[in-house]
Amino acid sequence: MKLNHINLCTSNVPALSSLLEKHFGFVLEETRGQHAFAQLTGMDGMTLILMDMSKTPQPYPRNFHIGFILDDPQEVRARHASLCADGYLPGPVEVMTRGRDRWTLFYHPAGDDLLIEVSAQEPA
């Protein structure tokens, strides 16, 4: 069985779509309605569906997030710098231990209580 897609709700479909395209490598495949729907595909074939929730806002549960794992901690720092250069305010880059492994990561608030985690495992 293969996970086919993830549906994310947002009050600003174009803004979240633009963020995912520019900073996370997604390609916009389709839009519908007046900023009501966007389908994006990631480099690995993952599909994200963005749907407008501005008429019935529902916050994401505490600690809900989507995560992107990169190959190298320097890529995490570069992604962080790219977001900052575009005027976004991602959280600080941190190095933390998870189990026996050390990870470099940051969380970026993407609006509507949605967090994006960007991480890479530290070399052993």
Q: Are residues 66 and 100 in the same domain?
A: yes
Q: What is the CATH number of the domain that holds 116?
A: 3.10.180.10
**Spatial separation of the C-alpha atoms in residues 78 and 110, rounded to whole Å:** 18
Q: Are residues 50 and 69 in the same domain?
A: no
pLDDT tens-digit map of 29-81: 999 998 999 999 998 889 999 999 988 878 899 889 999 999 999 999 999 99
Q: Tally the domains of the chain.
A: 2
Q: Are residues 68 and 42 in the same domain?
A: no
Retrieve residue 102's tokens. 């050390």
Q: Mean pLDDT score of the chain, rounded to an integer?
A: 94
The pLDDT confidence band at residue 91, using thresholds 50, 70 and 90, is very high
pLDDT tens-digit map of 52-63: 998 887 889 988
Residue 13: Cβ-neighbour burial (10 angstroms; 0-12, 13-18, 19+): buried
Task: Please state whether the predicted TM-score (pTM) of the whole model is above 0.85.
Answer: yes
On whether the CB atoms of residues 19 and 8 are closer than 8 A, the answer is no
Q: Are residues 43 and 76 in the same domain?
A: no
